[in-house]
Amino acid sequence: MTVAVPLSLIEAFDELARTPDARLIQGGTDLMVEINFNHVKPVDVIALRRIKELRTWQVNSNNTITIGSGVPYQEMEVGQLKELLPALAEAARTVGSPQIRAAGTLGGNLGTCSPAGDGLPVLFALDAIVHLQSLKSSRDLSIHEFMLGVKRNARHTNEIITGVTVPVLDGWQGYAKVGVRNAMVISVASACLAVDKKNNSVRIALGAVGPTIIRCRDAESWLVQQLDLTSATSIDTTIAQEFGRRVALESKPIDDHRSTAEYRRHAVGVLAQRLITRAYTS
Amino acid sequence: MSESIGNEMYTLRINGQDRPVVDAWVGESLLYVLRERLELPGAKGACEQGECGSCTVLMDGDAVCSCLVMAATAVGAEIVTVEGLIEKDPSMAATAEVIASQITDVQQAFITEGGVQCGFCTPGLIVAVHHLLDKNPDPTELQVKESISGNICRCTGYGRIFAAVEAVVQVRKASR
Amino acid sequence: MSTVKQDTRLRDILGTSALRPDGVAKVMGSFSFSSDMWAENMLWGATLRSPHPYARIISIDTTAALLISGVSAVITAQDVPGKATYGLISADQPVFASEFVRYMGEPVAAIAADHPETCRRALAAIIVNYEVLAPVVDPELAMLATTEQIHPDGNLIRHQKIICGDPQISGDITVEGHYTIGMQDQAFLGLEAAMAFPDSGGKGVELHIATQWLHEDRGQIAACLKLPEDNVRLVLGGVGGAFGAREDISLQVHCCLLALHTGRPIKMQYSREESFFGHVHRHPAKIWMKHHATKEGKIVKVESRMVFDGGAYTSTSPAVLINGITHTQGPYQCDNAVVDGYAVRTNNPPCGAMRGFGVVQACFAHESQMDKLAQACGLSPVEVRLINAMHTGDKLITGQAMESVAPVERCIRETDAIPMPEPLAANANVLEFPGGSGRTADRQNIVRGIGWGVSMKNLMYSEGFDDYATARCTLSNGIASLKFATSEVGQGFVTLAPQIARSVLGVDDVVFETSDTQIGSAGSTSASRQTWMSGGAVDGACRLVRERLFEHVGELHNIDPIRLMIEHTDVIDTIGTFRISVTEATQGITLSETFEHHHRKTEDLDANGQGNCHVAFAFVAHRAVVDVDIELGLVKVVQIATAQDVGRVLNPLSAIGQIEGGIAQGLGLAVMEEIIMDNGRVKNPSFTDYLLPTALDAPSVVAIMIEEPEPQAPLGAKGIGEPPCISVTPAIVAAIRAATGKALSRVPVRPQDICL
């Protein structure tokens, strides 16, 4: 059993080459729970928290933002990241508690790939590109190709998720999450909506209502036909309602101890209706 | 048993001191190492999954749940536990009176305002409140609530804890 | 009298907000909880638990576990030298399951090893061969004679009816309902933990344990260990909350057995997940209730059928049931009643004590009924409750006279007079909305509702139990030393006891001796009883010492002791001018007295549920204001207004802490806390899925303490621990009903109950 704490990506790849089955740990908020609950017994662990390259973010010249996989959620709640990616800021603020937000990262959300991961609906709504790197190569994967199912993703074992790139859109965006208490709650259902005025499109992605995050493509394209997203300043209640109804239809929720499929379906419909209404009243 | 569980050796920086950890199992949380190996039982464990805040410590200036930090990965980080909040004067004997006179304003306010009952959540809350007030000396009521929303208290219903934070804020304001 | 009137508030006597003596240690993190203990050469203990709700054990093979390096002992049922079972009321729960496991999580074996991780591996290496059986999980089915009896004692733990007055009488108006109460967990933060030290030679053991009742534990442990009680010494380990969950045995016997087997100190502590399986929960219950009333809304008769799911073992189910049915009427006058109550054994987790103890369940039903009655009679919730409010001297449905001070009307009126909270502002922060940081609601989605709940709660133990508490006071050189076995679980008895000593003896310095079994029992820290019982014992012991002090001073100074009294910190002659400080008067002498406080006798109930079964009662009113997001079914409790009958406030800071804390737990049951069962399986044994109120869920609490000293109570004070958490739950649900128009007959109210 080993634990390695590399200080750079290069060192991390060396470690990964040496222990190819190692578990990668970033903030620890997922893996340590698994260990504490005796669900996994890692043999080798590579900790990424001290790799500075992963803890940075930058605005790119093509109006996109690249966020390192080790940037903690608390940094997304404030400042320029909040200004440019308000939906991500709202999602970040719903992640666990302040203590979790100081440790948790998008890298962790992507590595774990739980459908209840709070950051993931935002990445799906923004069509994020996930950056994966190995010792010898790197590749970029669309988030839609990256998340394969409940806690399954397309990362190869020799790869490290280095970050994501998302566009800075012109248009309202927001996130909402249903939980049964007012803070520190795991998602029962969540939704991220982003308007892209430049391309006259709207994107809505749902969390915790299917095996992966669900993009509601039918509802999105229906809405585009009802509304000029670029010029509209308000939205009819009936359109918002119908949008919610269509979003709900695209969800694939299940019954479990956190809620019922029926409630979750209902809830994402309400969230979609409210988010699109917020988009055209603010 | 095919694998030994005691094979790690590393040094943590805790409350300003280098603390070697020997013979540890790699999966040990920082909480376990603090409590069981380094004689720092102030951080408490109550959920093992970051859902109660009893184990809150400062790590490089951030309040984190020490149950979710793999201890061996915390090398190089500055860790402060509830035991490290007090600057002890080594020249003074550790009598009850001396200790009581050394506690921080936040700690004193928790006692005076009734923020302590069973006391199990208290060390975590003390760390969280110190962290809050260091970052934001004049928080609104909602900012206080949000910033300690990761610290579950089962006894007080939080009312006296809010009162304690408010009392510290007012005293610090007056003395500025 | 005294010429210089000193400010008594400077001294931490009764009535002041004296501060916790353990406060400094607790804020520093140096207070030693039972989980903080460590000993040279110690081993870790751990428990193997059944993964099945109901199964026959075919075989247990511990060979592989014993071969793991670092493992010192593996023990099972056959290693229990004494009684194979334990229990608070009926010893029907095995130390380790041998033939059957009857609930998911039932202990099957325990191990001792050098590291928690070794323990986990060793547990995994024990091979238990089960024949899985279909669990009996529905209490209605379980109580039928035709259903498989899952325990030699049968499935019906207790049946008790109450028939009072004219069972045939009816009223102009009837209202009825079926109510469901979910399984709540005490969820104390300080997990079960203990350290056992074996005596050399294995003839005895010392157990440091977080418990509510040292002596009761000792009796049960000694029987299982087959040791004389004197050879089993219990010392109170620091307790991180209790709320009823530490009344039953959990790891006590296992820990002692492992210590005796290995000859080494054993530390055991449960994880949160294990804790959900390791202690009893609040009984889930189904209650049918029907009220008959006059057109004016005056209750004529109450009828009810209550079924409490006791889970696999008895624990305190019989007493919980009796509390439930004897509180059917709530704090209201009622001359006629027909009540039928059942506590039933199932393959669900054992249920027992939790703050409110059976009354929580009954109260949710009777308060829901009162609102229905109000509606049927065209009255407001306040009016219907005032019309029916109980008074001192009223006869209860058990035939017992209400002898306690009963300021029910005052509780209601004073609560009603508390100002309402401001309306939700148009620009309110999203964190104030239902859904909070999830940003689910907009201002226009939110509807406000107001609801009421009023309750009556018995204090202390009932049904003939000789419930007493013991304390010793030793006074020397101006310092009072107190000794008692009372469990301080966070409630603040360690604050109160010195206040009593200071008030009675005129001392300032009060120290404690260790709380352990080296003195008589203090009874349990439960049933809102320690202020009354252990408070009475400390008061009694201090008064005896004071008599001795007066005799001593009288003899020395030739004054009739009857003329002496304590004023401030002095002994004074009430007639003459003599005055001597208590410190000076006790130089070089030691006065020590032990006192046992017993409350008045109670009786069993007869076949018709008649009898003076309770000692005393306390009352409280709650008014809840909630904001509801009707479309999503999310709730934010805005304000709880409350007036509580406390008898006398002995420590205002402690009292408000009990009230606010109890309200938060009642809020939890109203809208979020439930152990979710699926055919005998617990689905959410973690803090991710068993949700407790956070700081952002806490309502604003406005509390009034009604002080009408209780003549029966040694200090005039009633117990205040339980009432806060009882009627706040129905008040919140009533407020949600008011906001939504939904019937809402179960707690916790789930989002889908509101919006679907």
Closest CA to C113 of C69, C62, C64, C75: C69
Amino acid at B21: V
Return the residue in A99, A101, A182, A185 with the most chain B beta carbons within 10 A, the one to mutate for interface testing.
A99
Residues 6+ apart with CB under 8 A from A225: none
Return the residue in B117, B144, B160, B166 with the most chain C beta carbons within 10 A, the one to mutate for interface testing.
B117
Q: Cα(A126)–Cα(A84) distance, rounded to whole angstroms?
A: 12
Q: How far is C354 from chain B (nearest CA, A)?
A: 13
* CB distance A70 to A107 below 8 Å: yes
Per-domain residue ranges for chain B?
8-84, 96-174
Under an 8 A CB cutoff, do A50 and B49 touch? no
- Mean pLDDT over A239-245 rounds to 98
Phi-psi region of B85 (alpha: psi -120 to 50; beta: other; left: phi over 0): alpha
Of A93, A182, A256, the CB nearest to C697: A182
* CB distance B126 to B82 below 8 Å: yes
Domains for chain C: give ranges and CATH numbers.
Answer: 8-30+468-588 (3.30.365.10), 38-134+189-241+246-278 (3.90.1170.50), 281-462+604-755 (3.30.365.10)
Under an 8 A CB cutoff, do A178 and C435 touch? yes
Amino acid at C427: N
- Tell the CATH topology of B8-84: Ubiquitin-like (UB roll) (3.10.20)
Given this model, what pLDDT does residue C4 score?
A: 40
Mean of pLDDT over chain C? 97
* pLDDT bucket at B2, cuts 50 / 70 / 90: very low
Q: Cα(B105)–Cα(B121) distance, rounded to whole angstroms?
A: 18
Closest CA to C188 of A117, A187, A236, B117: B117
Closest CA to C372 of C434, C461, C299, C480: C299
Q: Cα(B96)–Cα(B92) distance, rounded to whole angstroms?
A: 11
* CB distance A191 to A247 below 8 Å: yes
Q: For the segment C635-668, what is each residue's pLDDT rounded down to a tens digit?
A: 999 999 999 999 999 999 999 999 999 999 999 9
Look at the block and give the residue holding tokens 């049933």.
C527
- Nearest residue of A to residue C753 by CA position? A263
Q: For the segment C118-143, what is each residue's pLDDT rounded down to a tens digit?
A: 999 999 999 999 999 999 999 999 99
**C1: pLDDT strictly greater than 80:** no
Q: Measured between alpha carbons, how far is residue A23 from residues A32, A223, C17, C249, C285 in Å?
A: 11, 43, 53, 40, 46
Interface of A with C in 182-201 (CB under 8 A): 182-186, 188, 190
Tell me, yes or no, if C463 comes closer than 8 A to chain A by beta carbon: no
Q: How far is C309 from chain A (nearest CA, A)?
A: 20
Strands of C599-661, DSSP E: 616-629, 634-645
Range with lowest mean pLDDT among B22-36, B126-140, C612-626: B22-36
Under an 8 A CB cutoff, do C241 and B155 touch? yes
Closest CA to B69 of A189, A5, C430: A5
**A270: pLDDT strictly greater than 50:** yes
Tell me, yes or no, if A270 comes closer than 8 A to chain C by beta carbon: yes
Q: What secondary structure letter does DSSP report for C172?
A: S
> Burial code of C173-205, b = ≥16 C-beta within 10 A, e = fewer?
bbbebebebbbbbbbbbbbbbbbbbbbeeeebb
* CB distance B152 to B132 below 8 Å: no
Q: Cα(B154)–Cα(A110) distance, rounded to whole angstroms?
A: 33
Q: Cα(A209)–Cα(A189) distance, rounded to whole angstroms?
A: 6
Burial grade of A234 (CB within 10 A; 0-12, 13-18, 19 or more): exposed
Q: For the segment A123-150, what is each residue's pLDDT rounded down to a tens digit?
A: 999 999 999 999 999 999 999 999 999 9
Closest CA to C635 of C604, C668, C601: C668
DSSP-derived pairing of the beta strands C232-236 and C205-209: parallel
* CB distance C258 to C43 below 8 Å: yes
Q: What secondary structure letter does DSSP report for C183?
A: B
**C6: pLDDT strictly greater than 90:** no
Given this model, what pLDDT does residue B7 score?
A: 61
Strand, coil or helix: B57: strand
* pLDDT bucket at C364, cuts 50 / 70 / 90: very high
Q: Cα(C37)–Cα(B39) distance, rounded to whole angstroms?
A: 10
Tell me, yes or no, if C691 comes closer than 8 A to chain A by beta carbon: yes
Instruction: Find the length of chain B.
Output: 176
**A187: pLDDT strictly greater than 70:** yes
Given this model, what pLDDT does residue C8 score?
A: 45
Closest CA to C729 of C642, C644, C673, C670: C670
* pLDDT bucket at C466, cuts 50 / 70 / 90: confident
Under an 8 A CB cutoff, do B44 and C663 touch? no
Chains that touch B (3 or more CB pairs under 8 A): A, C
Percent of chain A with pLDDT over 90: 97
Q: Cα(C674)–Cα(C691) distance, rounded to whole angstroms?
A: 8
Under an 8 A CB cutoff, do A98 and B27 touch? no
**B3: pLDDT strictly greater than 60:** no
Chains that touch A (3 or more CB pairs under 8 A): B, C
Given this model, what pLDDT does residue B98 score?
A: 83
- Mean pLDDT over C350-376 rounds to 98
Q: Cα(C92)–Cα(C388) distance, rounded to whole angstroms?
A: 42
Domains for chain A: give ranges and CATH numbers.
Answer: 2-167 (3.30.465.10), 173-279 (3.30.390.50)
What residues in A contact B147, CB-CB < 8 Å? 98
Q: How far is A271 from chain C (nearest CA, A)?
A: 7
CATH number 1.10.150.120 given to B96-174: yes
Percent of chain C with pLDDT over 90: 98
Under an 8 A CB cutoff, do B123 and C191 touch? no
Closest CA to B74 of B90, B88, B57: B57
Q: For the segment C250-287, what is each residue's pLDDT rounded down to a tens digit?
A: 999 999 999 999 999 999 999 999 999 999 999 999 99
Look at the block and give the residue holding tokens 């540890």.
B24
What residues in A contact C689, CB-CB < 8 Å? 186, 257-258
Q: Measured between alpha carbons, how far is residue C370 from residues C289, C329, C396, C458 in Å?
A: 11, 10, 18, 20
Q: For the segment C529-583, what is each residue's pLDDT rounded down to a tens digit?
A: 999 999 999 999 999 999 999 999 999 999 999 999 999 999 999 999 999 999 9
